[in-house]
């Protein structure tokens, strides 16, 4: 809700302060002007709107103080120190040092008077950027509905007219930075129930339960590690050979590790959430990422219980079996993918939006592999230089063909192969590892000898532990 | 046609009563205003248009009466009881009780006079919403062409200016609710043939045939159930063992169940349709869903007849064979899918349109799995906080890779496996169940002993029944 | 080029005669009006533009004569004969007979005078439609560049204001029908070379060659049919059994049939093309479809020559082997597909653009199966009645899952299976048919006995024929 | 950056000189006019804007000189020599010779005076095109930031009003051609560090290293070729048979060839890059294509090192094994694809944007095969002639079904088959070639006889060479 409030305020500011704002941003900038007249009008429009804010704005806005505790607009212009330029003669006389001039416009004079300021005689050929910055204060009354105290905001707005490219197009950026502050003088009558206590109690409960689950799982893992140590020594002494690595890992239950990670995330996330409720913190992102990921892990953890029925096991087993092959295969395919990514970025970067930075290239190629957005990608590079056009065709056709027809098909071959292996195992029994052989042997010995040994009781204990599974909770 | 009439009227109203309506809704609201002037103009424009409706509207509209039987507009404003706010000082003095003021504007005064009403001095900082509601009456003359009597409609229109967020952006909603009423005073001359009778006769015919089919199928199933009971007893007595569950299900012909469901739906749907024709009911949705689903089932039922040719059977058999595996597999994959759904909703919800509610997240992820809309989904979260951006990349790449490369490939492996099994069965014969063995044995006995037993004759009777298949009709 | 000329003229007319035409059509209509004032203005704008056409239009336009040989506009209005309606009282008094009033506006009076005509007092509540029709003449000078004689066109333009729905929205249709006529009085000086002769010669050459190819292929097929007859008799006499159907088809070379169809199409298409050049015909569509399809067939025919290398044969052989299975499979899947198509049309028709008619439903579902347009389809039905919304989700999820996961996977299983079969055959030899056994036997006999028989020589003759393949030409 | 500067200038020019430019191009043209008034206004707007350029433009622009060294606009109109046309009478009297009239508008008179020139009485019926061309000079100051000297540009702008179609729609093209020139009179004070030297040094280093790698690889290949020659002779003499072709290729290490190509490209690309830095060249495209492709090859080359671990080898081996089959298969499928491409182009060309030229048809079909853009392609041909509509449906359905269901499935079958073969080989050993047998034999002999022969030492030497791999560098 806080994110939405900031977002809506930002949109409202753009409509208020940008002349001719079309409702959506053009690119990474909000709008652009192409003539000197428009540039001046954009600047004076913002100034005028600021002066009449009270009579215009629909929001709960008031003027805020600057860094230097003054109310008003601060207009700064950056330009090259001095210079004359006659492009017709290709004569350029410029000092590349950059000078910054600032002026503070308070509310004492009317916007019309400010217009006549000599500061606003802009020499566009050496102008780099004009920056209009002002602070506004606002109150988010919406929270009253949800029975919470309203938040006060300070909006640091900056309008930037960027002429750095000197290409005849000035891009206008609008940047609104909102900070939450506690309101100084709140006086709210009426029935505001503070039911946040119940939420806090619930959060605390979640933390306690997760903590319990965390401790139990950690104990299981610690015990298992101790058991492994004893088993290794025992094996080394008795059979005089080392236990293979895979067998050593068998002792550590991967599911417990999953639960531990999930619990840790839930606990940290819940603590952050309580802090946010208490207005001590404002960073929602980390909190939501932690809680979100823990939810994902909890759901994945449910598969474990399905795995107790053998027939349900196939997904997990096949993924386990095919994982090393798939990863190795991905490493190879990844090389080619990286190659194409870099190549596309270098060659097509200046001609194609989707190839502008490495990250977008990777996304675009990934989408292409999965059959998305193909025609649009082809079409976007239509009317450029013939050489690049030819290269882009070769590039796209070869990439798509290679990945969709060769590599995706190989994936299917890999998985089908793993599935067949698993199926055969399920019918004929899995190949036994040292550990399993040993356990079987022990088991058969035990049957005949009925001698409870400390070692085996420990294994049983581990097994018993496994059954009182730590609680898993979805928040 | 009724749906289209309502839809078109709603669009026409938006053009008539909303100032600056751009032709399409912005989001779930129709348009939005950002300045006080625009807000006032939006309100007065609607009032003025309502007054001059007769001279403006192209439709067959007249003023309708309110709930309190008065003609005119009802304007209500919701605001906090009282309050003063100086956001500059972060001083807030507000009573969180909500007060509702209403005023009734009839046609006696001109819109200009209403404007000066003190009611329309809005204090935006404590205003929550303004609601303008009015009733209009209309007649759908279009039905005269199709030789039916025209319907009269009452439109309950509500324009809502929503300032609950206090973010400086007032969203304008337009809500048009249409009720069908019988016209009071119809006087239509000219050749209106009432050919609805033929349609009614056809509907009745459909109902009768479906009823016949329904009864025959039900009888078959009832007989089969009786036969099963006898068979179970017989088997228990003679071989002293229970018949396995799958064999018990063999007695119930799934196709008959399909036909019964389809018939029931057709009958209920047709009855609803007749009621709608007779203007007793106006809920088209349920009727169309019933008739539509029954049509789907009827077409699916046709596969049964194709199944009589053995070569055509492969689709049904493979689907039957792979279904339990696929469902079990889906249960596992579904866990991961659910985990991703929740996780995406929690983390990306405030930053991404497609992750706003659980339901859209599920649809978006489903589309991603099937290779749709990938680049757009990636691109939409471009310019937000770096942490969330990184998370979204990890989230999307891992989800898509996991599902398209691992899980879809496993699906293919599953189905290919089932197909191979079925193919082997078709060549070498299916493994025989108890029931089939028994039947074969009986058959061979019968051949040698030629003793017609009551039991076997009953099976034959069942078979004969199967051949006089109930009629299946497409409406 | 003719299509483009018509298209551009039609767009130009819309800009000239439709007030506020936004550049693209809204739906199947060009634009729409919502107020009485706009409706009147739309009509008078068209009339006024027509009067000043000479000074406005950029094209080579002149006034054309009506069906009744008069120059000017013909305005017709359709309305119910008489009626009074008070929607407020739900009182309707209407004669459902439709009356058509027409008026002819020539160029003698100014548009302003016409406005005062009592004809233009429209009573919208009983108005059905207003139709403004006029004829314009134009010359396509563009053809002069390609050294051809220019064509003269007669444009029959009709502007229709459609109020049949009486929903408050009048849809404006613009319909432009262009007829090509020979210009009466052409007088073109300057260097117009009539190089159409060369094209005609080329066309004639194509026809001759195709004819030759056609005759040779037909002869081969006729000979093959005769041979088959003799072989059948021979087989029946000697071995006293009938030759199986598949063997009988072996005699007819499918490639020759392909060549014959392709040749026929090319010949007819080329003749049509010559007729069009000679301005006797104006129907380009049939001609281009014939020539296009023949080109497709010619390219497919090239595969035959690749098939002479055994390794290249796999595509053809696998397709041949899997075709019957695939077709049978498609029949079953098609039933479910049809069921879903009908069901979607009935239920979702009024709520979703893509489900408006059967044909679009089929296309939409086909696109969904292939992973296209999924999220958009889901999203479009968002804010409607809850029941339909729920149904649409069930419908789409079940359809997509069923088809992508079950049926497409089965396809892969089918094809993989056929490929394996073919591969095994290629390694171990194909199973021999009666015919091949017979030929082999003959061959071995021949080797030992060296008795040239009339029958075998005929086979050889057939083979020799096969080698002098008819020419295949791409136009 | 240079590309971006040109692009932005071109957009700025369009906003400055085209009346009513909507911000994006309509098609391949920028905008279009439909009335005589608009056409005149478009022309005079451009002239007027040119005159007031200094006071309007935001960029660093000045007037440039024409080819004939004059400042000003050059307006040319192309029209048929003389003619009268009365389309109403279908009378055409025209001289198809094309006449070109030009006028030079300098800055001496005001734009209003120019308007009255008789030159600007356009007779649209015989007008072919009006071309307004002018030169502007600009300076790219942006480079100062990156501590480089600014570039001077000459923009050759041409506005073309194209009436060749005489369809009533004049298309307006804006063409901006930018040439980089060295500025004549640069006078830049302030701290411009010329750090290009460091870049040059780095480039030189890259070239040197690549050269070294190139020489080493070439040497390896030359030695291998010599070895092959000797081996061939040896084999021919000793065993008296020719070595098979595949074995001969074994001597040439494909990876070295890859490295050589990559090195060559890097060297040429780097040299071009240095030339561009030195302002001797302005063709970025070739340079970026060379460097991009070499980067791709370098990444692909990394797979080789992964291939040293046997498990990673599967991608390369399977691709190697399946490549000949896949290529042969593609040849067949390509025939059908080509057939469809030509057929679609011929038939659907005039009705569908995506089928306008062969190249777009190929892209559109390729996208369709991969499941992209399907519904949009279907929908775009909705409301045209019924015959073409029917054909388009047949065409699209058959193409998509054939390729997605048959051919893509066959691809999977092919790859799965190859993968199985490779897997079997990896388990049971690869089939041995003559060369390998010979080497093994030699190896075993060597073991027993310990006779170092010149021949074998040469093989060892080759092997040693292989281990000191030439350096591969990513730029």
Which of A372, A410, A472 to probe by mutation at the B interface, max B CB count within 10 Å? A372
* Alpha carbon of residue A122 to chain centroid: 41
Among the listed residues A172, A73, A78, the one whose alpha carbon sits nearest the alpha carbon of residue A122: A78
Measured between its terminal Cα atoms, the distance across chain A in Å is: 19
Which partners does chain A have (≥3 C-beta pairs < 8 Å)?
Answer: B, D
Q: How far is CA B142 from CA B4, B187, C8, D186, in A?
A: 11, 15, 35, 77
> Nearest to residue B202, comparing CAs of B262, B282, B277, B264?
B277
Nearest Cα of chain D lies from the Cα of C231 at a distance, in angstroms, of 34
Tell me how far apart the alpha carbons of residues D35 and D14 are, in angstroms, rounded to a whole number. 20
Chain B residues within 8 A of A266 when measuring between CB atoms: none
Nearest CA-CA partner of A465 in A221, A162, A132: A221
Distance CA B403, CA A377 (A): 24
> Is A266 in a helix, a strand, or coil?
helix
Question: Quick one: pLDDT at residue C464?
Answer: 35
Task: Identify whether the C-beta of residue A124 lies closer than 8 Å to the C-beta of residue D218.
Answer: no
pLDDT single digits (tens) D78-102:
888 777 766 666 666 777 778 888 8
Nearest CA to A181 out of A211, A150, A159, A205 is that of: A150
CA nearest C404 in B: which residue?
B370
The whole-number pLDDT of residue B89 equals 63
CA distance A377 to chain D (A): 10
B258 forms beta bridges with none
* pLDDT per residue as tens digits for the range C34-69: 888 889 999 989 888 888 888 888 877 888 877 777
Q: What is the pTM of this model?
A: 0.77
Residue closest to C185 by CA, chosen among B84, A69, D83: D83
Judge whether residue B336 has pLDDT over 50: yes
Record: contact A125-D8, CB cut-off 8 A: no
- For the stretch B11-28, pLDDT in tens is 889 988 888 888 888 777
- Grade residue B466 by pLDDT with cuts at 50, 70 and 90: very low
Per the CB < 8 A criterion, the answer to whether A187 and A174 are in contact is no
Q: In angstroms, what separates the C-alpha of D88 from chain C's closest C-alpha?
A: 5
Which two three-digit tokens encode residue D350?
Answer: 């005039």
Q: Which chain C residues touch D87 with a CB distance below 8 Å?
A: 60-62, 136-139, 152
Helix axis angle for D254-277 and D196-238, nearest 10°, is 160
- Which of A73-87, B97-111, B180-194, C54-68 is the least confident region? B180-194
The three-class DSSP label of residue D163 is coil
pLDDT digits (tens, 9 = 90+) for D151-193: 788 888 899 998 888 888 889 999 888 887 777 666 666 655 5
CB-count burial class (<10 Å; 0-12, 13-18, 19+) for A287 = buried
Q: Are the Cβ atoms of B336 and A299 closer than 8 angstroms?
A: yes
Nearest CA in chain B to A186: B92
Neighbours of C44 (CB within 10 A): 16
For residue range A321-349, what is the model confidence (pLDDT) as tens digits? 888 888 888 888 888 888 888 888 888 87
Mean pLDDT of A404-415: 83
The beta-carbon neighbor of A184 closest among B89, B335, B410 is B89
- DSSP per residue, B301-327: HHHHHHTTSGGGGHHHHHHHHHHHHHH
Placement of tokens 């071109």 in the chain: D10
Judging contacts by C-beta atoms under 8 Å, the chain A residues touching residue B125 are 60
**Does B226 have pLDDT greater than 70?**
yes
Residue-by-residue DSSP string for A455-466: HHHHHHHHHHHH
Q: Please give the Cα distance from A89 to B416 (Å, whole number).
A: 76
* CB within 8 Å: A88 and D412: no
Q: What's the maximum distance between 2 C-alpha atoms anywhere in chain B?
A: 107
Taking an 8 Å cut-off on Cβ atoms, the answer to whether C142 and D125 are in contact is: no
pLDDT at A447: 46
- The pLDDT score that the predictor gives to residue D273 is 83
**Which residue of D88, D372, D393 is in closest CB contact with C63?**
D88
Q: Which residues in chain A are contacts of D415 at CB distance < 8 A? A: 405-406, 409-410, 412-413
**CB atoms A16 and B34 under 8 Å:** yes
Beta-carbon separation of B60 and C85 below 8 A: yes
- The per-residue pLDDT for range A433-446, each reduced to its tens digit, is 666 666 666 666 54
Q: Are B33 and B56 within 8 A, CB to CB?
A: no
Of the candidates D301, D270, D289, D223, which has an alpha carbon nearest to the alpha carbon of residue D472?
A: D301
Q: Which of D60, D182, D359 to substitute to test the interface with A, most A CBs within 10 Å?
A: D60
Q: A474 pLDDT band (50/70/90 cuts)? A: very low
User: Residue A258's pLDDT is what?
Assistant: 87
Token pair recorded at residue B468: 């006089």
Find which of D288, D404, D409 to mutate to test the A interface (most A CBs within 10 Å of its CB).
D288
- What whole-number distance in Å separates Cα of residue D35 and Cα of residue D49? 21
Q: Which residues contact A454 (CB under 8 A, 6 or more apart)?
A: none
Confirm if B159 and B136 have CB atoms less than 8 A apart: no
Question: How high is the pLDDT of residue C195?
Answer: 57
Complex-level ipTM = 0.73
Residues of C in contact with B286 (CB under 8 A): 387
Q: Can you read off the two tokens belonging to residue D312? A: 């990673």
Which of the residues A292, A301, A331, A360 would you substitute to probe the B interface, choosing the one with the greatest number of B C-beta atoms within 10 Å? A292
Residues of chain C short of pLDDT 70, as ranges, are 1, 85-92, 145-148, 184-196, 243-246, 279-282, 310-311, 382-384, 430-475
| Mean pLDDT, residues A267-293 taken together | 80
CA contacts within 13 A on the Cβ side of D350 = 17
Which of A141, A188, A193, A344 to probe by mutation at the B interface, max B CB count within 10 Å?
A: A141
Q: Which long-range contacts (CB under 8 A, 24 or more apart) does C113-117 make?
A: C114/C44, C114/C47, C115/C44
Q: B421-463, pLDDT tens digit by residue?
A: 888 877 777 666 666 666 666 666 544 444 334 344 334 333 3
Please tell me the distance from the alpha carbon of residue C372 to that of residue C362, in angstroms, as a whole number: 13
pLDDT of C85 reads 65
Give me the pLDDT at residue A328, please.
82
**Closest CB to A413 among D71, D371, D415:** D415
Contacts D369 to C, Cβ<8 Å: none
D147, two tokens:
């501590």
With b for 16 or more beta-carbon neighbours within 10 A and e for fewer, the B28-56 pattern comes to ebbbbbbbbebbeebbbbbbbbbbebeeb
* Encoded tokens for B31: 């348009």
Q: For D315, which of A96, A391, A410 is closest by C-beta distance?
A: A410
**Chain C residues with CB inside 8 Å of B302's CB?**
335
**DSSP string covering A161-209:** EE-TT-SS-EEEEEEEEEEEE--SEEEEES----THHHHHHHHHHHHHH
Chain B residues inside the 8 Å CB shell of A138: 87, 168
Q: In Å, what is the CA distance from A138 to each residue of A145, A323, B69, B92, C106?
A: 17, 53, 43, 11, 66
Are A89 and D185 a contacting pair at CB < 8 A? yes
Measured CA to CA, the distance from residue A396 to residue A386 in angstroms comes to 15
Altogether, the residues listed in chain B come to a count of 475
Over residues A59-66, the mean pLDDT reads: 79
What is the average pLDDT across A11-17? Answer: 89
Mean pLDDT is lowest, of A48-52, A273-277, B389-393, C154-158, for A273-277
Contact residues, chain D, for C408 at CB < 8 Å? 405
Give Cα separations from A65 to A114, B124, B166, B168, C320 (angstroms): 20, 23, 21, 20, 81
């Amino acid at each position: 809700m806080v994110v939405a409030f900031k977002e809506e305020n930002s949109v409202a500011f753009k409509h208020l302060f940008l002349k001719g704002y079309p409702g959506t941003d053009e690119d990474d900038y909000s709008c652009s002007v192409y003539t000197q007249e428009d540039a001046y009008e954009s600047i004076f429009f913002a100034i005028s709107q600021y002066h009449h804010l009270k009579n215009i704005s629909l929001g709960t806005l008031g003027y805020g103080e600057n860094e230097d505790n003054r109310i008003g607009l601060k207009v700064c212009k950056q330009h090259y120190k001095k210079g004359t330029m006659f492009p017709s003669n290709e004569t350029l006389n410029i000092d590349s040092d950059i000078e910054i001039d600032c002026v503070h416009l308070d509310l004492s004079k009317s916007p019309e008077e400010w217009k006549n300021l000599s500061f606003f005689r802009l020499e566009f050929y050496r102008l780099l950027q004009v920056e209009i910055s002002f602070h506004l204060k606002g109150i988010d009354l919406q929270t009253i509905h949800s029975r919470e105290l309203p938040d006060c905001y300070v909006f640091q707005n900056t309008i930037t007219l960027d002429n750095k490219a000197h290409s005849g197009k000035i891009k206008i950026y609008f940047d609104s930075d909102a900070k939450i502050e506690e309101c100084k003088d709140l006086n709210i009558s009426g029935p505001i129930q503070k039911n946040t206590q119940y939420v806090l109690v619930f959060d605390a409960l979640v933390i306690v339960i997760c903590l319990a689950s965390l401790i139990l799982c950690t104990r299981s893992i610690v015990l298992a590690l101790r058991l492994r140590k004893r088993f290794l020594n025992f094996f080394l002494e008795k059979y005089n050979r080392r236990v293979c690595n895979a067998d050593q890992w068998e002792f550590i239950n991967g599911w417990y590790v999953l639960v531990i990670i999930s619990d840790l995330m839930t606990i940290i996330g819940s603590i952050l959430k309580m802090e946010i409720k208490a207005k001590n913190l404002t960073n929602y992102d980390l909190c939501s990422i932690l809680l979100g990921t823990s939810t994902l892990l909890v759901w994945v953890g449910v598969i474990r219980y399905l795995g107790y029925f053998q027939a349900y096991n196939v997904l997990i087993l096949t993924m386990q079996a095919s994982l090393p092959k798939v990863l190795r295969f991905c490493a190879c395919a990844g090389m080619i993918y990286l190659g194409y990514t870099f190549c596309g970025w270098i060659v097509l970067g200046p001609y194609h939006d989707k190839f502008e930075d490495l990250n977008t290239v990777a996304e675009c190629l990934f989408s292409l592999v999965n059959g998305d957005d193909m025609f649009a990608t082809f079409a976007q590079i239509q009317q450029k230089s013939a050489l690049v056009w030819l290269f882009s065709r070769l590039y796209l056709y070869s990439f798509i063909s290679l990945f969709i027809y060769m590599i995706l098909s190989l994936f299917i071959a890999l998985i089908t192969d793993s599935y067949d292996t698993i199926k055969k195992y399920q019918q004929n029994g899995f190949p036994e590892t040292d550990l399993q052989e040993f356990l079987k042997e022990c088991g058969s010995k035990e049957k005949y000898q009925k001698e409870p040994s400390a070692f085996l009781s420990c294994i049983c204990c581990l097994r018993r532990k496994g059954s009182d599974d730590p609680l898993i909770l979805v928040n």
